[in-house]
Each structure stands twice: as structure tokens, then as C-alpha cells.
Amino acid sequence: MRQFLRKVLICNTNSIIRIVTYAAAGSGLLYSNSDTDFKSFVSVSVSAPLHPFFSLRWPIAKELIPCASIVTSDHSLYGNIQSPLSRTGSIPSEDVNKDASGKVGDGSKSIAAAAAMVGPAVVYISVPCRIYGKPSGSSSGSGTIIDPDGTILTCAHLVLGSRGKTVTSKGKVDVILQDGRTYVGTVVNADLHSDIAIVKIKSSSPLPVARLGSSCKLCPGDWVVAMGCPHLLQNTVTAGIVSCVDRKSSEMGLGGMLREYLQIDCAINPGNSGGPLVNLDGEIVGVNVMKLTAATGLNFAVPIDSIKKIMKHFRKNGRIVRPWLGLKMLDLNEMIIAQLKNKDATFPNVNKGVLVLMVTPGSPADLAGFHPGDVVIEFRGKPAGSIIEINELMGDRIGIPLKVVVKRAEDTEVTLTVVPEETNPELK
């Protein structure tokens, strides 16, 4: 297998192996939640033939950074990816339940109807904040009431701050409903890695609630609605389509573990951050978290299916538990497998699996005996066809031995036992 890898590394630069290496460079380490980590720092030994590949710069990485929550005119401080947050000021009162004639698709569902169903549950959130220790007014954004008990879904960078910015609310935020009611909310859970947070308010009167949908049902081209309070214009509705249902963080030049986003072309502006992305059934299918400021119509939301998993972690552990193996991996498909076999006939005969590209020295995977070039075909006794499947099978198991079956050169099959460790909970 080592001979196979040497052949791989000196192949023609137009070959599939270069593509594989590039993908590995941006994919980050393997964690249990493929969508819940912004940054990871590890020491990895890279062989000399890999140096020219890993020294290349990703052009888009300079324009994409995790969302920033502070309102500022100097975007150069935080890069070109801007968190949609709004300025402080008065909140206009509007009625989102107006009749509208706009129909889409076959005419059976309308943007207006979807907006009217969710609109009353969309809230404005304001948080006092500081920039590098100095008072700097308030940051503000949006959220959605998702439970009659006052549970509000929003984004973490709004209530926690990020990239040098901190809030001074001590877990308290101001919440204003569409009907004008105001509350002091408490930040119950927040995770900057996934950029998802939960805020709770207490009300003696009934609260409007929005339903959670399923992001896995979305397809490119589906109509969606973005709602929130851009520039303090409460009850603002914009519409567009889903451009991509599984935009990888590595494609966007974002470091850390592999995550997936919904890419949309709805108009997103400062203040939409934390607001809901809604389908035409009036269900939340995502939370708007960031946009690419250097382009038009390139905006991103965390899928609601990922958020549901995050909320389960919140309920069970009060935080997100992320097992760590220390592997850099790549999903295999028929075309990649065929080209790898053309380069080396000893490559394992597999129809699918996950290729191990790098193993972090001293990691659980290294101690278990994983080697670059291994193809993972089973994880915990079940077929493993993708990194996402491995993540789901691993769940939040920490310190529990897990059986993994890999194939090596000339179809040598080996069973390994790996014991995942937990990543640093304070790692940002």
C-alpha cells in the first residue's frame, strides 16, 4: 500500500489523485457531527511529495470566514463573509398576514401563505456587546419561536459573539415579537462551532410557534423564503430558490471538520442572521447564518435536520459532544475508484467506502492501526459508504471501543478497534 501511495503522489497533476488531495486539504478532521465545528488544530506530518499540494492557497478561502456578529462599517476586520445583523433603532410595525397574489410552482402554494404562517413567530433579538474589550453598542438579529414554552431558535454568534467580539449580556437578551410584546430572554444553549443557539422567554400569554420541517426533502430549484429583521426592518420577507442542498464547508474554503450548508439565493442582509429559512408549506428548513459579500445570491443556512441533532445534544448533555478519531477521509464513488485502480491494480476491490487519506500521529486512529490508503467498509458492524454515515454511526460515543473493518492493497481485510476521544469542548 505504501508503494501505491507513492505512485499516487507522483501522478500527473491533471489526475483524479490531485483532486483527491485537494479535497483532503479542505475537509478537516473526522468528528461525530459533520456540520458542527468551525476550527480544529492538530499536528500532522506530511510527506515531502505532498508539500506542493498542501502549500497551494484556496482562492475562495480568503473571502469566507465564520460569521461576525458586530455591526461595523469596516468589513476588512472580519473578512468578506458577513453575518446578517442589524443596527439599533426603532422597529417598524407591519402586518405580515396581508393578502398577496404571488403564486409559485403549480399555484397551489404561495410565498405569502408560507410567510403568514411563520411570520408571527419570527422575533427580533438585541444583545449588548463589546469589540476587543471596548463597549460597542448592541448586536442584533433574528430568531424563531419553535415551542409554546418560549423556546427560540437563533444563531450562536449573535448571542455569544465571535472573532474577538464578546457580548456583555451575561446570558440575557432583549426579544421583541411581531405584535410588539417584549421579553428578556435567557441564552440556554449555544455552540459557536455549529453557530446554533437556543434562547428561552417566559410568557403568561400564548406565543406564536413555527413548525420544523425537514431539509432532506429539499431539492435544488425549490422555492424558499428567508425571514427576519434586516436593518431593523421587522417582518421582512425575501424569496428565492435552493441553489445547493449539500454545500460542503471544504468547498467554501472553511477549515475544521466537514459541514454541509443549504446554499440559497434569497436576499440576505444585516439583521437576517438567526432568522428562519422556510419552505412553501410554512415549515422551517434552515437557519440563515452567513453570506458571501463579494457576490450576489450566495447565501448559506444551517439545515434544520442538522439543527435537530444539535438540539438533541443540548437536551442530553447541555452541549455538543464531538468524538474525535484523527482521520482525514474522502468519500469514494465509482469514478474515483475506477481511476484509483487504473493507477494501481492492487487498490482494493470495493464498490463504495471511505478512503483514509491522512492519520494524525498519536490520535485514536493512529493507536488503532489505521494507515493512509485504508478503505473503511464497515463501522460498528454496518456498511460505511460515506463520512456522514460514519459520523452517524459513531454518534456521541466517547471512550467506547468501536470495531472498524478496512480493506487494504490486494483486498487484504483488517478489523481494527478504535476508541474515540472527545474534542476540547472549549475549542473555538
Look up the CATH number of the domain holding residue 201: 2.40.10.120
- Residue 262 forms part of a structural domain: yes
CA distances from 194 to 41, 97, 158, 168, 376 (A): 17, 32, 13, 21, 26
Q: Which residues span the domain enclosing 364?
A: 2-59+321-422
Residues 33 and 136 in one domain: no
Same domain, 210 and 259: yes
In the block, residue with C-alpha cell 460597542: 136
Do residue 50 and residue 86 come from a single domain?
Answer: no
Give the active site residue among 273, 306, 363, 386.
Answer: 273
For residue 300, being part of any structural domain is answered with yes
The three cell numbers of residue 68 are: 461576525
Same domain for 246 and 204: yes
Instruction: Write out pLDDT tens, residues 282-299.
Output: 999 999 998 887 888 899
Cα distance between residue 170 and residue 225, in whole Å: 33
Q: Are residues 167 and 126 in the same domain?
A: yes
Mean pLDDT calculated for residue range 346-369: 95
Provide CB contacts within 8 A for 108, sequence distance 6+. none
The alpha carbon of residue 286 and the mean position of all alpha carbons in its chain are separated, in whole angstroms, by 10
Choose, from 27, 83, 139, 157, the residue flagged as catalytic.
157
In this structure, are 180 and 296 located in the same domain? yes
* Claim to verify: residue 146 and residue 199 sit in the same structural domain: yes
**Rounded to whole angstroms, how far apart are CA atoms 124 and 175?**
6
User: Is residue 195 flagged as an active site residue?
Assistant: yes
The answer to whether residues 20 and 48 touch, using CB atoms and an 8 Å cutoff, is no
- Is 67 a domain residue? no
Q: How many domains are there within the chain?
A: 2
Q: Hey, how many other C-beta atoms are within 10 angstroms of the C-beta on 222?
A: 17
Would you call 374 a catalytic residue per the annotation? no
Confirm whether 427 is domain-assigned.
no
Per-residue pLDDT of 88-126, as tens digits, reads 333 333 443 333 333 444 445 899 999 999 999 999 999
What is the rounded average pLDDT of the residues 29-56?
38
Do 108 and 80 share a domain, yes or no?
yes
Are 285 and 265 found together in one domain? yes
- Asked whether residue 263 falls in the same domain as residue 343, the answer is no
Angle subtended at Cα 37 by Cα 418 and Cα 166, rounded to the nearest 5 degrees: 140
In a domain, 70, yes or no: no
Residues contacting 307, CB < 8 A, separation 6+ = 153, 194, 196, 286, 287
Is 68 among the domain residues? no
Of the ranges 125-129, 166-170, 255-259, which one carries the lowest mean pLDDT score? 166-170
> Of 293, 317, 341, at which residue does a domain stop?
317
Choose the final residue of a domain: 260, 287, 317. Answer: 317
Domain match, 167 and 229 both: yes
DSSP characters over 186-234 = EEEEEETTTTEEEEE---SS----PEE--GGG--TT-EEEEEE-GGG-T
Mean pLDDT for the chain? 77
On whether residue 66 sits in a domain, the answer given is: no
Residues 309 and 350 in one domain: no
pLDDT band, residue 50 (cuts 50/70/90): very low
| Position 175 in a domain | yes
Please report where in the chains the cell 449580556 appears, as a residue. 169
**What b/e readout covers 16-49, taking b as 16+ CB neighbours within 10 angstroms?**
bbbebbebbbbbbbbbbbbbbbbebeeeeeeeee
Higher pLDDT pick, 245 / 254: 245
Whichever domain contains 24, its CATH number is: 2.30.42.10
Last residue of a domain, one of 317, 344, 366: 317
Tell me the pLDDT band of 151, cut-offs 50, 70 and 90.
very high
Q: Output 35 or 256, whichever has higher pLDDT.
A: 256
Q: Which of 195, 305, 374, 396 is catalytic?
A: 195
Residue with more model confidence, 427 or 264: 264
Based on the residue annotation, tell me whether 157 is a catalytic residue of this protein: yes
